[in-house]
Every structure is written in structure tokens, then in C-alpha cells.
Amino acid sequence: MPIESASVEYSAGATAMKSFISKPEKGQFTHPGILVFPEWWGLTDYLERRTKQLAELGYVAMAVDMYGEGKIASDPEEAGALMNGVLSKMQEGEARLLAAIDFLKSQAEVDANRLGAIGYCFGGAMVLHAARKGWPLRAVASFHGSLGANHQAKSGDVHTKILVCHGEADAMVTADNVKEFSREMNRLGAEYVIKTYPDALHGFTNPATTALGQKYGIPVGYNETADLQSWDELKDFLSEHI
């Protein structure tokens, strides 16, 4: 499907958010909208590639700037500082999430009643937070994302369908974390699916991850099999729920 892409800018409070949007070329129909939330590095070329892939499937997809001014981290120390800056001030983080939802809904090509979100690592935590808050997303998918809760939802709060794609060799998000997440979702009465991939490390969907892990000595790596399988599962998941 032919697509068009562009950088976009909107505000969250006094902060300029510089995101990236891809959409099918103009036609007479509206399309579901998908937000794409980044790894702790920020809005890199990897996120732009994912939005284009989603646009080719018929979605209007927006890679979301969560740090403001389009900041991209140059090393793990800066990435951690930027990510923790959001997590430690979740009221501001929530404002950025909601600003992204509102901006995507405002696009003429988007069906505002058919919204979803996907996220990678830090971004996975963001989409699960949105689901716990009960925000208007039909479905969210987390890829090698943090599963811990920054918001304690109550039974019946979560209406969003949830897909979690997790590497079994992930040293940052452990098997115990997955079990605790399952207990939480069962307690909340949420509809969720967890897919796991043998030998897949944290960051398994991003081809750049292996080199970054080697450079900085962190336990991350790309896994082509898990990447392709999880993307196919995402396509089926979005097709069913959005």
C-alpha cells in the first residue's frame, strides 16, 4: 500500500513534542490509528520504520516523542536519565501520552473510535500504563517491555485488549515479573495474551540491539525468529481487535 510520512509537532503543556507519522496515501476512507512508543533511546529511525510498516498495513501510525523536542539518547546513561525523568514525574508523562492520543485522533484520516498502541521496552511500559488507566485504546501490545505497574488499577478498570511479547532469556524483565503481571491482570479481569520466545533477550525486535549490547556491555540482543514471530502475532492481534 502506498504511504506518506512526515515529522509532526504538537504540545504537551509547555513542551514541544516532535513525533513522526505515517499513513496510507489519501483516499476516501478513514483508518484505525496506532501509537508507537519508543525504547529508552527515544524516537530513533527504528521507530520510524515501524510506523511505516504499520501504514503499509492500512493504519495511520505515529511514533511518539516522550522526551520532548525529539531528544534521542546517545548512551545508556543518558537514556536512563531521560526515561527515569518521565517515570519519576508520571503526571507529566501522562500528559504526553494523552497529548499523543489527542493528536492522532485529530488527524482527518483517523477513525477516532479505532485506536491502539504498541511499545518497545520503555514504550511497552507506557502502553500498559495507558491500559491500566482505562484510556480509549482498543488494544495495546508490549514488546520486551517493563511489566511493573505505575498505577494500581482496580477490577474492571482495564477494557483494553493486551498482548505481551516477551523473550524467555530476558535478564531485565524476569519470569517472576511475567508471573506477577499475569496475577495482576487476572485480578483485574483483563483480557490479555502473553507470547514468549525461547532464547530471546531483551530488545529482541531491534536489529541494532546486538551491537549496542556489545558496545555498552548490557544483556540485550536481536533475535530474528522472535522478531518475525512477534510481528506476525501483532498483525493478527490488531486485525482482530482494531
Residue 1 has a pLDDT of 79
Phi first, then psi: what are they for 60, rounded to 5°? Answer: -90, 115
Distance of CA 25 to the CA centre of its chain: 24
DSSP string covering 157-225: ---SEEEEEEETT-SSS-HHHHHHHHHHHHHHT--EEEEEETTPPBTTT-TTHHHHHHHHT-SB---HH
pTM of the model: 0.96
Please state which CATH number belongs to domain 3-241. Answer: 3.40.50.1820
What is the mean pLDDT of the segment spanning 37-66? 97
pLDDT, one tens digit per residue, over 178-235 is: 999 999 999 999 999 999 999 999 999 999 999 999 999 999 999 999 999 999 999 9
User: What cell numbers appear for 44 in the block?
Assistant: 530513533
CA distances from 231 to 14, 25, 33, 54, 160 (A): 36, 23, 17, 10, 19
pLDDT, one tens digit per residue, over 106-119 is: 999 999 999 999 99
